[in-house]
Every structure is written in structure tokens, then in C-alpha cells.
Chains A and B, each alone.
Chain A
Amino acid sequence: QKEVEQNSGPLSVPEGAIASLNCTYSDRVSQSFFWYRQYSGKSPELIMSIYSNGDKEDGRFTAQLNKASQYVSLLIRDSQPSDSATYLCAVLPKIGNEKLTFGTGTRLTIIP
């Protein structure tokens, strides 16, 4: 079992709709969870971090964490063509361990 799993996509979403990206992780003691956006040919950009169960909202982005289910998701509301990118889920296993483990990423395409 991979440590961090994501559907590779591609995921196609109409402009203006909600894009839902999912990630599961295997290490139950993981503490910190991150979503990175990576445009083609560019480096990953941190867009959301979440540490506690529940939802965290930032603009059009909402991160959701469910530690019991070992599941973290990212919702993008009012999707725009500029949201088309690969979204990487990353997990830090425990406090004091600084090594991020990345999922393989989900390629998202917003259709105008």
C-alpha cells in the first residue's frame, strides 16, 4: 500500500463547478497535511495546510480532514481555467519528523 494515495486523473470539471480532490494516507499517526498546486513546468506551490479534523477554508479552497478515516480532501469552488494544474497531497508523519511524503498527484482540468 502506498503511503499517500491520490487518483491520478485526469479530472475534468466545468468552469464554475466544484472540483473535489481526494487523498488517503496509511500512517495513522500522521499530523500535518498539505495541498500543493503544480502548474506544468513549474515547482509546487503550497495552497492549503490542515492539522485538525474538520474543514479549513481559504478563499475558494476548502481542505477537509478526517483522521479516523485517514482521508484528506481539497474542494475548489467556482473553478476557473487557471485552476487547471496537478494537485499534490503531502503528509508529514508526526511532529518532529520533517520529511514530507507526496502522493502522485491529481491532474485537474477546468473546462471553459
Chain B
Amino acid sequence: SAVISQKPSRDICQRGTSLTIQCQVDSQVTMMFWYRQQPGQSLTLIATANQGSEATYESGFVIDKFPISRPNLTFSTLTVSNMSPEDSSIYLCSVKGTRAYNEQFFGPGTRLTVL
């Protein structure tokens, strides 16, 4: 499977600020996703990052709050804008594997705390 890295691994931010999370893959992948995992909860899909076009957001998530870029097939960023304590979560990027199966593999995650 692809090797996925995320930066930063963790951060503590002040209310009202923004944080950009980077996801880098060591090989080209067709599909990249961004998930959120709130404390003690399961994973919720935020959006699908589309290369060369606007991301596809899930219900409850909007581009103004979570702008996403995907300039190429190995890199994507997620920005958490105008943060509030409710945004404190682990943010994970995932990629679809290269096999024909629909397996997805996750990066190590970014642990965000908003004060």
C-alpha cells in the first residue's frame, strides 16, 4: 500500500484562526479523502478531494469552512477555517489503493485542539 504522511501531526490553535493540514502520498493515487474523527467517535467523511477540480463535500460540510486543494495526484490540503472548540478532532486523509478492490488506507492523522 502507499505510504501516506500528514503534517502537522498535532497542533493547538486559538479560536478564530485557521489551520492547513497537508497530506502527501509516495505514489500517484486516483482518489483521496478527508475524514474527521471527533473524540470517542467513529470516522466521518468530510469530502473527496478531486484532482484539478473542486472537492465533493458531504452533507454538513461546506467549502467555506473546510477548503480543500488537490493540485496533483500525490498531494492534498485541508484547511479548517475560523476554528472553534467544536473543531477539535483528529483529521485523517485516506487514499484508495491501487488494486482493483475498493480498499482505502489512512494517513497517520492530525490531532487538532482548539482553545
Chain A residues whose C-beta falls within 8 Å of the C-beta of B90 in the assembled complex: 43
Residue of B nearest to A45 (CB): B106
**Within 8 Å of chain B (Cβ to Cβ): is A60?**
no
Contact with A along B90-112 (1 / 0, CB 8 A): 10101010000111111111000
Which of A64-72, A73-81, A97-105 participates in binding chain B? A97-105
Q: Taking the nearest CB of chain B, how far is it from the CB of A34, in angstroms? A: 7
Interface of A is mostly: loop
Q: Are A49's CB and B103's CB within 8 A?
A: yes
Q: Which of A34, A42, A88 contacts B103 (CB 8 A)?
A: A34
Q: Please report the total number of A residues contacting B with Cβ < 8 Å.
A: 22
Chain A residues whose C-beta falls within 8 Å of the C-beta of B41 in the assembled complex: 104
**Within 8 Å of chain A (Cβ to Cβ): is B45?**
yes
Contact with B along A40-60 (1 / 0, CB 8 A): 001111100101000000000
**Within 8 Å of chain B (Cβ to Cβ): is A92?**
yes
Q: Which residues in chain A, 18-52, are within 8 Å of chain B measured between CB atoms?
A: 31-32, 34, 36, 42-46, 49, 51
Q: Are B42's CB and A46's CB within 8 A?
A: no
Q: Are A44's CB and B48's CB within 8 A?
A: no
**Within 8 Å of chain A (Cβ to Cβ): is B114?**
no
Q: Are A100's CB and B45's CB within 8 A?
A: yes
Q: Which of A46, A95, A103, A105 contacts B104 (CB 8 A)?
A: A46
Q: Are B45's CB and A99's CB within 8 A?
A: yes
Residue of B nearest to A36 (CB): B106
Q: Taking the nearest CB of chain A, how far is it from the CB of B108, in angstroms? A: 5
Q: A31-B102, A46-B106, A95-B102 are in contact. List 6 more A-B contacts (CB 8 A).
A: A34-B104, A43-B106, A43-B108, A49-B101, A98-B31, A100-B33
Residues of A whose CB lies within 8 Å of any CB of B are: 31-32, 34, 36, 42-46, 49, 51, 88, 90, 92, 95, 98-100, 102-105
